[in-house]
Chains A and B, each alone.
Chain A
Amino acid sequence: MNRAAWFAALALVLVCAALVLARFLLPTGAQAADFTLTDQDGQPYTLSAHRGHPIALFFGYAHCPDVCPTTLSALARAKRTLGPASANFDVVLVTVDPARDNAATLKRYVHLFDPTFVGLTGTEAQLDPVYAAYHVYHQVDSGKGSANGYIVAHSSAVQFISPDGRLRGTGDWSDSPAELAVLMKQAAS
Chain B
Amino acid sequence: MNALALAAIVISNAWSRPAIGTGVVYLRVANRGATSDRLDAARTPVARVVEIHRSVDSSASMNGMRMTGVMSMQPVNAVKIPAHGSVTFAPGGYHLMAIGLRHDLHPNERFPLQLHFARAGWTSVTVLVRPI
Contacts and interface: CB of A to CB of B under 8 A. Distances in A.
B51 A112 contact: no
A109 B22 CA distance: 10
Nearest to A112: B18
Interface in A130-159: 135, 137, 139, 141, 144-148, 151, 153-157
Contacts of A155: 68-71
Most A-side CB within 10 Å, residue of B17, B51, B65, B100: B17
A73 B19 CA distance: 11
Name B's interface SS. strand
Given A23-B65, A70-B91, A148-B51, A65 B71 contact: no
Contact of A64 (B18, B22, B100): B22
A105 interface: yes
Interface stretch (A82-90, A160-168, A169-177, A178-186): A169-177
Q: Could you say which interface size class chain A belongs to?
A: 35 or more
Name A's interface SS. mixed
A147 B100 contact: yes
B99 interface: yes
Interface in A36-81: 62-67, 69-70, 73, 76-77, 80
Given A15-B63, A66-B73, A170-B67, 6 more contacts: A62-B20, A66-B24, A67-B91, A80-B132, A144-B75, A148-B51
